[in-house]
């Protein structure tokens, strides 16, 4: 009896060891674990770069509920008279750990960094955009430009660029991931003749926002058939967050990259639930894994303005001229929010400036050596 119990314990311990080994391997795997990997494959620990929060004011005429937090940008000072402006991805806060990881090499070069929240983040939208203008892409770009101008007048940025003409940097790097990348491209219009040089680096921008919205709606509707799974993941996240403050949704879901369909549903539900906050102005509990409205449609936020592939390609060509061909794009064909064939069209619009790889998911490329090399080249040119 004792021997049988020892054998059972040994087998259990062996299985636990194997499971831990698999998880550790997945944590440090340098390449996507499946061709359809959707996770960010983030490091186990967040970046140790810190910045100062700069509060954005509520625009006149907008009176959101008192529980809607004030949107903030993040300022990371540097020694060089240049500026990197990072636009957060879909529904992202400026303080997201992913933003800090993206700018590690920029900060090492001594370039100051200004991180903007996404105009689709509920606090930014509620306090900076009228309700009837939150679904037009053009208005979101105008709102970002206005936020940049406001922040340029803050004490921190005035002091940093007081010796520069017009009190602003003469070389600006615009960077972003996902929808933040699309916004970074569009934000080049914010800088007129007062800035001598603008460079843009877009990572995995959605090529067709309507297609992306429809895809997320489809994923969300399938997830709605299995809400217990969504709630279970949400409860797990809320339980673990106080224990490990660096943990975010994408890190926690990394083991599911072996099950790309499940991860896609959860990612779609997460996007939708956080966009739902724009409509309700109520924070979604359980870490934003599932929507609460049965009739919610993500796609309504992606239907107005220049949102098609043709619009994007036209803008790429325009920005290429505006920036003196200093527009760079990095994308992966297995991004679940794009049609892979659209990237061929985008690559033609950016000859020698578009780097298209087969795998990387919707955000994993920022953790590849390729990303860091391209950032270094962007700064050096």
Q: What is the 3-state secondary structure (H, E, C) of 139-158?
A: HHHHHHHHHHHHHHCCHHHH
- CA–CA gap between residue 141 and residue 176 (Å, rounded): 13
Tokens 């061909």, residue?
Answer: 325
Q: Do the Cβ atoms of 309 and 208 come closer than 8 Å?
A: yes
DSSP output for 2-46: HHHHHHHHHHHHHHHHHHHHHHHHHHH-SS-SSTT--S----SS-
pLDDT at 220: 86
CA angle 315–321–326, rounded 5-degree value:
95
CA angle 305–126–112, rounded 5-degree value:
80
Which pTM does this prediction carry?
Answer: 0.85
**How do 72-76 and 83-87 pair as beta strands?**
unpaired
**Phi/psi of residue 8, nearest 5 degrees:** -60, -45
High-pLDDT (> 90) share of the chain, %: 46
Tell me the per-residue pLDDT of 82-129, one tens digit each, with 9 for 90 and over.
Answer: 999 999 999 889 988 789 889 999 999 999 999 999 999 999 999 999
Taking the alpha carbons at both ends of the chain, their separation in whole angstroms is: 72
Tens-level pLDDT at each residue, the chain (381 residues): 566 667 666 776 777 776 655 554 544 444 443 333 334 444 444 566 889 999 999 998 888 888 899 999 999 999 999 999 999 999 889 988 789 889 999 999 999 999 999 999 999 999 999 988 888 999 999 999 999 999 999 999 999 999 988 888 989 999 999 999 999 999 999 987 778 899 999 999 999 999 999 999 998 888 777 777 777 777 776 776 666 555 555 455 544 544 566 677 777 888 888 898 888 888 777 667 778 777 888 888 888 889 999 999 999 999 999 899 999 999 999 888 999 999 999 999 999 899 999 888 887 788 788 899 999 988 887
* CATH C-level class of 52-208+306-380: alpha beta
């Amino acid at each position: 009896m004792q021997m049988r119990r020892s054998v059972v314990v040994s087998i259990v311990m062996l299985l636990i060891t194997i499971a831990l080994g698999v998880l550790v391997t997945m944590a440090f795997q340098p390449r996507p674990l499946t061709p359809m990997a959707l996770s960010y494959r983030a490091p186990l620990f967040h970046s140790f770069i810190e910045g100062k929060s700069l509060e954005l004011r509520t625009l006149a005429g907008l009176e959101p509920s008192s529980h809607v937090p004030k949107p903030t940008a993040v300022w990371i000072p540097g020694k060089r008279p240049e500026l990197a402006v990072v636009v957060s991805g879909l529904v992202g806060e400026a303080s997201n750990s992913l933003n800090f990881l993206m700018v590690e090499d920029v900060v090492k070069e001594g370039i100051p960094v200004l991180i903007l929240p996404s105009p689709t983040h509920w606090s930014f939208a509620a306090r900076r955009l009228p309700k009837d203008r939150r679904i037009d892409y053009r208005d979101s770009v105008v709102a970002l430009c206005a936020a940049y101008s406001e922040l340029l007048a803050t004490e921190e940025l005035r002091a940093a660029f007081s010796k520069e003409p017009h009190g602003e940097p003469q070389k600006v790097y615009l960077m972003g991931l996902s929808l933040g990348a699309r916004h970074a491209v569009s934000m080049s219009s914010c800088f007129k003749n007062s800035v001598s040089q603008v460079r843009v680096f877009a990572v995995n921008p959605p090529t067709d926002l309507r297609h992306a919205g429809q895809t997320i709606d489809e994923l969300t509707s399938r997830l709605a058939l299995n809400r217990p799974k969504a709630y279970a993941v949400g409860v797990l996240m809320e339980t673990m967050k106080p224990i490990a403050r660096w943990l975010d949704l994408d890190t926690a879901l990394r083991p599911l990259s072996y099950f790309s369909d499940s991860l896609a549903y959860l990612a779609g539900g997460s996007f939708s639930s956080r966009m739902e906050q724009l409509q309700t102005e109520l924070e979604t509990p359980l870490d934003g894994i599932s929507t609460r409205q049965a009739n919610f449609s993500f796609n309504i936020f992606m239907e107005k303005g220049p949102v098609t592939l043709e619009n994007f390609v036209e803008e790429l060509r325009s920005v290429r001229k505006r920036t003196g061909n200093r527009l760079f794009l990095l994308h992966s064909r297995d991004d679940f929010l794009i049609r892979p064939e659209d990237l061929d069209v985008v690559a033609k619009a950016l000859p020698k400036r578009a780097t298209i790889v087969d795998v990387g998911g919707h955000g994993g490329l920022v953790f590849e050596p390729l990303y860091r090399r391209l950032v270094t080249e962007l700064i050096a040119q």
